[in-house]
A and B are shown apart, each in its own frame.
Chain A
């Protein structure tokens, strides 16, 4: 549906040219919710503006629905933009127009008749749950309601693509959740392709199918959300994920020295990640049964879902005879799950005596 091919964007600044995008290649399939995550200044807002050509790329090609936007004249481009809805962090509603007039705005721009506008705006008001607010002004609405108006307005021209530029960044967590649910709903109902720009991994985790991590103008990593979450490759990706998935040691070990060498009384800490059906397998029970000499302590556990895939994380501590511990570790490694050996650590309370 969307294809970006080697997009570069250079800005002129007083201190010389600044390369915001350094060759971005991206393909987004029809009906997908695609996340683009990056820190501020990474170039993600520039990138999304290149998709509808609010920013003209310095070089490279942009295709939306098979048409090359980078080749179009100004008037062709205006026509093409009607297929690409966009919502913004600060909503960008007309303060001098009512909710109804704001949603009707793109239709008015296209020269639609009043009765045709009415026919399209009413169902949109219903879709976003703002029928009662139709004749109020944006200043009378809450942030979440404003973004609902933004969404309805973006959908008025029946676009094929919806671009969301930090659409929930100005909203509180609860409202964010509701808006994300609405976006996902719309994506399903209308088979809309959605591009979500964000700096929050939570947003990606909640609604995206795929994600690209953008850093310093290049895509550091991309793939399905579940893959990125369970097997991040780049430090920047790990950093984004660590916000959601705590990588701290459990309280009893925090601050202790982690050693890769076995030591008496030390716990071998192992971080386990279960994905999909494996999340339900009794792997730990099996290990305990097979290695009764090894004492297994559960230090941290968490079971989550990414879209519909179960996703569990656990940190266990193993103590006992060194060989048995190694065998137990080998047993875990033979299973179809991801494990990461953190190292040997003493408990605070055990090192005390």
Chain B
């Protein structure tokens, strides 16, 4: 009875990790620059541009206010356009990425806000370009904080990826629903929850350690 669970669990765990990792990487590639833009185009910042900032902020807020489960269904046409299908692990990653981009953007913005303006002023006094200020001052100075913030995003992605099971995305959440709930096998439910707890603990531990190592303050 338990032995048949092992391959199911490993497969589901693999799918979850795959979804989270790939979504996180893609979302970061877009989300970190988004966070930089949100911060640097703000009032009194190096690329100050009130109109652009407001526009970007509104888009971010709109996407962030849609509950993930609704977003997932609402963007099915877009998902189909991008991956060719609306079902499966790859299809589940489209809403995961879209939901995570504005989340990362806001988290990165918060981290960048912690960098004292004096540092930017110092860099300007040395003749730094705005790009150099972003690349050599803002990002390195907030790397510990960004790491901690991204850890939070990864953990919420683990949770959202479980919901992605609802559109046939696979993964641990999907397994828990189909076996644990629909086929009345509570031991599968318990096993998936335990794995999820360990996974989240692990992510948090790695994130904290890394952030601490990067923090020279």
Contacts and interface: CB of A to CB of B under 8 A. Distances in A.
A106 B123 CA distance: 8
B137 A82 contact: no
B6 interface: no
A85 B214 CA distance: 29
Interface string B182-194: 0000000000000
Interface stretch (A90-98, A227-235, A316-324, A325-333): A90-98
A78 B140 contact: no
Interface string B119-138: 10111111111001000110
A93 to B, nearest CB: 8
Contacts of B51: none
Contacts of B119: 92-94
Given A78-B129, A110-B127, A139 B216 contact: yes
Contact of B125 (A86, A97, A139): A86
Given A92-B119, A94-B137, A97-B140, A137 B128 contact: no
Interface in A85-122: 85-86, 88, 90, 92-97, 105-106, 108-110
A157 interface: yes
Interface in B108-150: 116, 118-119, 121-129, 132, 136-137, 140-141, 143-144
Contact of A157 (B126, B132, B144): B126
B121 A54 contact: yes
Contacts of B118: 88, 90, 92
Contacts of B143: 96
Interface in B11-47: none
Contact of A54 (B125, B140, B216): B125
A340 interface: no
Given A92-B119, A96-B216, A137-B216, A81 B141 contact: no
A52 interface: yes
B214 A96 contact: yes
Contacts of A295: none
A299 to B, nearest CB: 47
B126 A109 contact: yes
Contacts of B124: 54, 81
Contacts of B116: 90, 92
Contacts of A86: 122, 125
A109 B140 contact: no
A52 B125 CA distance: 7
Interface in B149-203: none
A84 interface: yes
Given A92-B118, A92-B119, A139-B217, A105 B140 contact: no
A96 B135 CA distance: 13
Interface in A46-95: 52, 54, 78-82, 84-86, 88, 90, 92-95
Contacts of A105: 123, 126, 136
A138 to B, nearest CB: 8
Given A96-B141, A96-B216, A78 B128 contact: yes
A82 B125 CA distance: 8
The listed residue with most A CB atoms (<10 A of its CB), out of B125, B127, B128, B217, is: B125
A86 to B, nearest CB: 4
Contacts of A138: 216
B122 A92 contact: yes
Contact of A94 (B121, B125, B129, B141): B141
Contacts of B125: 52, 54, 81, 84-86, 163
Contacts of A96: 140-141, 143-144, 214, 216
A78 B125 CA distance: 8
A108 B122 contact: no
Contacts of B132: 109
A106 B127 contact: yes
B112 to A, nearest CB: 13
Contacts of B136: 105, 108-109
B149 to A, nearest CB: 16
B126 A82 contact: yes
Contacts of A163: 125
A165 to B, nearest CB: 9
24 contacts: A54-B124, A78-B127, A79-B127, A81-B125, A81-B127, A85-B125, A86-B125, A88-B121, A88-B122, A90-B116, A90-B118, A92-B118, A93-B119, A93-B122, A95-B217, A96-B141, A105-B126, A106-B126, A108-B136, A109-B136, A110-B127, A137-B216, A138-B216, A163-B125
Interface of A: 52, 54, 78-82, 84-86, 88, 90, 92-97, 105-106, 108-110, 137-139, 153, 157, 163
- Sorted from nearest, which 7 A-B pairs have the closest CB atoms? A92-B122, A92-B118, A78-B127, A106-B126, A86-B125, A81-B127, A137-B216
Given A81-B124, A95-B217, 9 more contacts: A52-B125, A78-B128, A78-B129, A95-B216, A96-B143, A96-B214, A105-B123, A106-B127, A109-B132
